[in-house]
Amino acid sequence: MTDTVKQHRDLSNAKDMIVCQGVNKWYGDFQALSDITATVKETEVVVVLGPSGSGKSTWIRCVNRLEHHQSGNIIVDGVELTNDVRNIEKIRSEVGMVFQQFNLFPHLTVLDNITLAPKWVRKLPKAEAEEKAMELLEIVGIPEQADKYPGQMSGGQQQRVAIARALAMEPRIMLFDEPTSALDPEMIKEVLDVMKGLARSGMTMMVVTHEMGFAREVADRIIFMEDGEIVEVGTPEHFFTDPEEDRTKLFLSQIL
């Protein structure tokens, strides 16, 4: 295993982008998140690992309030998430999200999928939004698919469109919720390549994934979760070579 491991960067002076303090969440009586406290700095790439059912997705979905937490604070780019609708809309237009199932709008073409939110939320003129969308499609490598419908594309292409759609809002933070889990193996690479490029460009990213290679190569920090709580936090180097907790060791021994 001699994959490139990302060099450690000192981000202690960078701005806090996502701050979670003692976040708790319950589904009925079941506690899905318990006392989650973590901070994501500007330009930092944080990968969240953990067995299924450990609360990774629930946590990341709390960050743009697709799920509501019941106690604790989540502060995104200086704005606290509460029930105030204006705060939520402000946060959501600054936080891009990519889903496991892509969730493209099947009745719109690729171009319309990407330009919809910039036109209606950012009030961008149509021509400008389309120009921007074509640039993004260029970046994710499928400009020739602009007029197709999602149903006519492969999963990997759809996920790249979904990334372009999120980027079109010019977000300051990108959340990825298992972006490659629904893809065939030969398509995973094309999506990961786009994500790597994004990380290199200085985007703040929070990624839930099972791709260990990606975590090792791109992450600044890895957070390991189990049973709704954070078990261990560390650099990839530390995490993959010298984990402290027994639960982390067990997890790594199962997947590596």
Partner 1 sequence: MTEPTSPNVTAGGRVQLARPKEPYIPPREWIRDNLFSTPFNSILTVLFTALVFVMTRGMLGFIFGHDRRWEAPATNLRFLMTQAYPDEQYIRVWFTFGWILALAGLSLAAWNAAPRVGYRNLARKAASVGVAVALIGLVAPAMSTSGRLQYVLIGAIPMAAGIIALKILDNHDTRDMSAFVVQVLVVAGIILSLWTVPYGQHTFVDGAARVDSGTVAQSTKLPLTIMLLVIIAAFYVGRTIRPHFKQLKAVLGGIWLLSPFILTTLVLRDPAFDSGHLLSTDIPIGLAFALGGGAILWLLSSAKAGETGRIAAAIILVLAFASFLTPMRMIVRIDALMLAGAALSSATFAGSREARLRFVGGWMGAIVIVNWLVTATNTPSTVFGLPTGTFYGGGLTLTLIITSFTLIFAFPLGVTMALARTSKMPIFRVMSTAYIETIRGIPLITVFIFFAIMLPLLLPDGMEVAKIPAIVIGYVLFSSAYLAENVRGGLQSIGRGQHEAAEALGLTTAQKTLMITLPQALRVSIPPLVGQAIGTFKESSLVLIVGLFDLLFIARNVIPNTSGFLGAQREPLMVASFIYWAGSYSMSKASQRVERKLGLGER
**Shortest Å distance, C-beta 149 to partner 1:** 3
Question: Does 160 contact partner 1 by CB under 8 A?
Answer: no
Give the whole-angstrom CA distance, residue 95 versus residue 78. Answer: 13
Question: Does 169 contact partner 1 by CB under 8 A?
Answer: yes
Q: Which is it for strands 173-177 and 95-98: parallel, antiparallel or unpaired?
A: parallel
Question: Does 156 contact partner 1 by CB under 8 A?
Answer: no
Name the region of 30 (left: φ>0; alpha: ψ -120 to 50; beta: rest).
Answer: beta
Q: Which is nearer to partner 1, 99 or 239 (CB)?
A: 99
Quote the Cα angle for 189-228-212, to 5°. 20
Give the whole-angstrom CA distance, residue 224 versus residue 239. Answer: 9
Cβ atoms 111, 100 nearer than 8 A: no
Q: How far is CA 77 from CA 13, 53, 90, 120, 221, in A?
A: 15, 28, 10, 23, 19
Question: Does 64 contact partner 1 by CB under 8 A?
Answer: yes
Task: Give me the amino acid identity at 89.
Answer: E
Give the whole-angstrom CA distance, residue 50 versus residue 47. Answer: 10
Cβ atoms 175, 195 nearer than 8 A: no
Contact pick of 8, 68, 107, 200 for partner 1 (by CB under 8 A): 107
**Shortest Å distance, C-beta 246 to partner 1:** 36
Interface mask (CB under 8 A) for partner 1, residues 126-155, using x and -? Answer: -----------------------xxxx---
Question: Does 103 contact partner 1 by CB under 8 A?
Answer: yes
**Shortest Å distance, C-beta 205 to partner 1:** 15
Nearest to 147 by CA among 118, 110, 116: 110
Question: Does 120 contact partner 1 by CB under 8 A?
Answer: yes
Q: Which span (26-34, 72-80, 158-166, 222-230) binds partner 1, by CB under 8 A? A: 158-166
Give the whole-angstrom CA distance, residue 91 versus residue 211. Answer: 28
Nearest to 202 by CA among 4, 12, 14, 13: 14
Q: Which is nearer to partner 1, 42 or 94 (CB)?
A: 94
Contact pick of 121, 125, 202, 244 for partner 1 (by CB under 8 A): 121
Question: Does 249 contact partner 1 by CB under 8 A?
Answer: no
Task: Give me the amino acid identity at 46.
Answer: V
**Shortest Å distance, C-beta 185 to partner 1:** 20
**Shortest Å distance, C-beta 172 to partner 1:** 13
Contact pick of 18, 23, 47, 104 for partner 1 (by CB under 8 A): 104
Which parts of this chain interact with partner 1 (CB under 8 A)? 64, 66, 89, 92-93, 95-97, 99, 101, 103-107, 109, 116-117, 120-121, 149-152, 162, 165-166, 169
